[in-house]
Amino acid sequence: MRKTVILLVILAIGAQFGCARNKKTDIYKDSSVLSELPFVYKMPVQQGNIVTKDMLDELRIGMSRAQVRYLLGTPLLTDIFHSDRWDYTYTMKRGHAPMEKKPLTLFFDDDALVRIQGFVPPDPDQGIPGEDQPEIVVKVPDYEERRGILRRTLGAVGLERED
């Protein structure tokens, strides 16, 4: 009986050391070799504040904090030590492509917007100052009615009605 107890204690201690020796890997950190293949679908992941070009076009220097919050939403990052700075950060990870980051930082002074820094898409309407934009002419052909095979057949037989 005493030998059995000693054997069980030794096995329990051995099992403890055996489990402690095994290194657990993080399944999310180490990706599989198969997941890096180009035909494996990876879901696009977007995080942060989505700020569109229309929102940025309406943004004006001198707007109050309430107006900016109404227009762009609550900022993702607000710093306790820099209360006059709001950070809107947007990241997008599409499949195997590298992550794209679009940071936008707004600076306030006495509850008024004074500076915009970061990702601001270029405005195509402004163009380059001093450069004349060429006039774009689009030719649209006259309307030509195309009748389907059924209407052509009825027209050939004389059963199609005139509208």
Strands (E), 81-124: 85-93, 100-109, 112-118
Nearest one of 101, 122, 105 to 68, comparing CA atoms: 105
Q: State which residues form the domain around 33.
A: 2-118
Q: Number of structural domains, the chain?
A: 1
Task: Evaluate whether residue 152 is within a structural domain.
Answer: no
Q: Please count the CA atoms within 13 angstroms of the CA of 45 that sit on its side-chain side.
A: 8
pLDDT tens digit string along 121-154? 655 554 444 455 567 777 877 877 788 888 888 8
pLDDT tens digit string along 42-90? 888 888 888 888 888 888 899 999 999 999 988 887 778 888 999 988 8
